[in-house]
């Protein structure tokens, strides 16, 4: 209790204790929010890795299919030189930009990383 309008040591100790409780509560709240945010980053990172793997698989499958299709067109042309395969070749060639675009996106997705990186 104050004596003659002056704060006593007990008053100061009580004020410091109250301040410490307030600071500790604020730090605990911040730590909880940081942990929740880190959990979100970890979940997004895991999902991103899954998406990157899926897109890379699609890109690989497209590339393989395009090569197989081209090989079949070449084989058909060699076996039947009289056939006009111009339209078929044009359709196969039209796939190339799509395959390259998907491959480029797969690489970009695979290079994405959170900032800051997730905790181990």
Going by pLDDT thresholds of 50, 70 and 90, the confidence category of residue 48 is confident
Whether residue 17 is contained in a domain is answered as yes
More confident residue, 101 or 1: 101
Whether residue 3 is contained in a domain is answered as no
Which positions ≥6 away from 99 have C-beta within 8 Å? 59, 62, 63, 66
Question: Quick check: 106 pLDDT over 70?
Answer: yes
Q: Report the number of distinct structural domains present in the chain.
A: 1
Entry field: residues in the chain: 120
Alpha-carbon distance values, 9 to 15, 16, 21, 93 (Å): 10, 10, 18, 87
pLDDT at 2: 57
Task: List alpha helices for 1-120, DSSP H.
Answer: 9-79, 86-111
> Whole domain around residue 81: which residue ranges?
9-111
Question: Quick check: 50 pLDDT over 70?
Answer: yes
Whether residue 120 is contained in a domain is answered as no
């Amino acid at each position: 209790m104050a004596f003659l309008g002056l704060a006593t040591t007990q008053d100061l100790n009580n004020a410091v204790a109250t301040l410490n409780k307030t600071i500790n509560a604020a730090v605990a709240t911040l730590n909880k929010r940081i942990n929740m945010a880190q959990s979100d980053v970890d979940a997004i990172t895991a999902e991103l890795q899954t998406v990157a793997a899926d897109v890379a698989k699609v890109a690989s499958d497209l590339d393989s299919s395009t090569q197989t299709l081209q090989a079949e067109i070449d084989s058909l042309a060699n076996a039947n030189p009289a056939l006009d395969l111009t339209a078929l070749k044009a359709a196969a060639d039209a796939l190339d930009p799509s395959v390259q675009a998907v491959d480029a996106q797969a690489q970009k997705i695979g290079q994405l990383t959170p900032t800051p990186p997730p905790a181990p």
